[in-house]
Amino acid sequence: MEIKEGTKDEFFNELLQKLEQMTNWDGRKLVKYQGFWFPLNYLRPLLSAQKHFKANDSDIILSTLPKSGTTWLKALVFSIANRSIYPNIDQSPLLTSNPHKLVPFIEFDLYWNEENPDLTHIPSPRIFSTHIPLNALPNCILESSECKIIYICRNPLDQFISHYYFVLQNFVSKDAAPLELDEAFDMFCQGVPGPVLEHMLAYWNAHLENPRKVLFLKYEDLKDNIGFNVKKIAEFLGFPFSLEEEEQGLIDEISRVCSFGNLKNLEVNKNGYVMDGLLKNSSYFRKGEVGDWTNYLTPAMAERMKKLMEIKFQGSGLMFNI
Ligand code: A3P
């Protein structure tokens, strides 16, 4: 949908009136746009990005659902893509800046306060991240033959639990109180916010259609073998590790610096905030485990999600072990 010039507020309000709205389990207002439930205050930056973002062929877009490994992926891709600038990993900016400061979100950082920011001064390769579903991405990202997308997702049960506790840490005192866990889970299974399974499936299909353009990663696979995945990301980006780099142990070094244990314990990530002081740096590093959902959700809840996945992912080849 196009934003008309000159009447932005009028157009925005008119559009808003036509869209379905509801309250999320975290107490925030949601609006349904292009098939997905977005936080209401996300809509304006999304529309601005759809209208103004210009993709460069060398751009790297990290696309994720919230709480799926975004912070980790930002740290890894930043380190891989900038390793010629910071050959000594112990001088990496990651040691003094939260990964979200180094890799901005398209919708939260670039377009949150500005309708059309100048992004031309950012050196190549520009690395941006987003939670925007594939069908709502600025068209130019998909149309550019060279610009790369890396998607990471996670077992939806762990993603839900991670999200729930992230909200409790960050919003509970400022916004309305979230619903109880079981009510929130019920909404989650009904596709609110999200629907997350559709978000994953669209990127999965795009990866199958064009694996050179879209790399599809799972959090669990990175936990299982980070070195293999660091190598895979570098190859996908067209910056493969040389034999010399491998022999020097650079893959292991990058994996170590970006590891949960290392990032969580850095002073910069224990203190401070991102997103205009809204979100605590420390809240991005909770447990970093696979299967933490078993501590909070019943087998019946897990079974419900498993059935949903079987239906939604049927025939696609996408699945998560529960
Ligand atoms: P948990 O809440 O399960 O611990 P996002 O970065 O998309 O917001 O996701 C946050 C989740 O990723 C949190 O999961 C967080 O602990 C975990 N995480 C953050 N950094 C990580 C890292 N370097 N390695 C592994 N997991 C990490």
214 forms bridges with which residues in the sheet?
Answer: 149
Asked whether 158 lines ligand 1 (CB < 6 A), one says yes
121 in active site: no
Asked whether 162 lines ligand 1 (CB < 6 A), one says yes
Indicate which residue of 100, 131, 199, 207 is catalytic: 131
Contacts of the segment 31-38: beta carbons below 8 A, 24+ positions apart: 33/136, 34/1, 34/133, 34/135, 34/136, 35/133, 35/135, 35/198, 36/133, 36/136, 36/193, 36/194, 36/195, 36/198, 36/199, 37/191, 37/192, 37/193, 37/194, 37/195, 38/193
- Give distance in angstroms: CA of 153 to centre of ligand 1: 11
User: Which 8-state DSSP code applies to residue 105?
Assistant: B
Query: Are 182 and 39 spatial neighbours (Cβ–Cβ below 8 Å)?
Result: no
Asked whether 63 lines ligand 1 (CB < 6 A), one says no
- Which is the CATH superfamily of the domain at 18-312? P-loop containing nucleotide triphosphate hydrolases (3.40.50.300)
The protein residue with its alpha carbon nearest to ligand 1, atom 23, reads 260
Asked whether 69 lines ligand 1 (CB < 6 A), one says yes
Sign for the CA dihedral angle at 194, 140, 148, 82 comes to: negative
- Give distance in angstroms: CA of 121 to centre of ligand 1: 30
CA torsion angle for 85, 90, 121, 66 (degrees, to 10)?
130
- The residue ranges of every structural domain in the chain are 18-312
The protein residue with its alpha carbon nearest to ligand 1, atom 17, reads 288
Query: Are 194 and 33 spatial neighbours (Cβ–Cβ below 8 Å)?
Result: no
- Give distance in angstroms: CA of 72 to centre of ligand 1: 7
Tell me the C-alpha to C-alpha distance, in Å, between residue 78 and each of 21, 70, 75, 94, 247: 36, 12, 5, 9, 21
Count CB neighbours of 217 within 10 A. Answer: 24
Which amino acid is it at 130? Answer: T
The protein residue with its alpha carbon nearest to ligand 1, atom 12, reads 69
pLDDT per position in the chain (322 positions), as tens?
A: 444 444 578 888 999 999 999 999 999 899 999 999 999 999 999 999 999 999 999 999 999 999 999 999 999 999 999 999 998 888 999 999 999 999 999 999 999 999 999 999 999 999 999 999 999 999 999 999 899 999 999 999 999 999 999 988 887 555 567 899 999 999 999 999 999 999 999 999 999 999 999 999 999 999 999 999 999 999 999 999 999 999 999 999 999 999 999 999 999 999 888 877 788 899 999 999 999 999 999 999 999 999 999 999 999 999 999 8
Asked whether 72 lines ligand 1 (CB < 6 A), one says yes
Asked whether 144 lines ligand 1 (CB < 6 A), one says no
- Model pTM score: 0.95
Helices (H) and strands (E) in the chain, counts: 15, 9
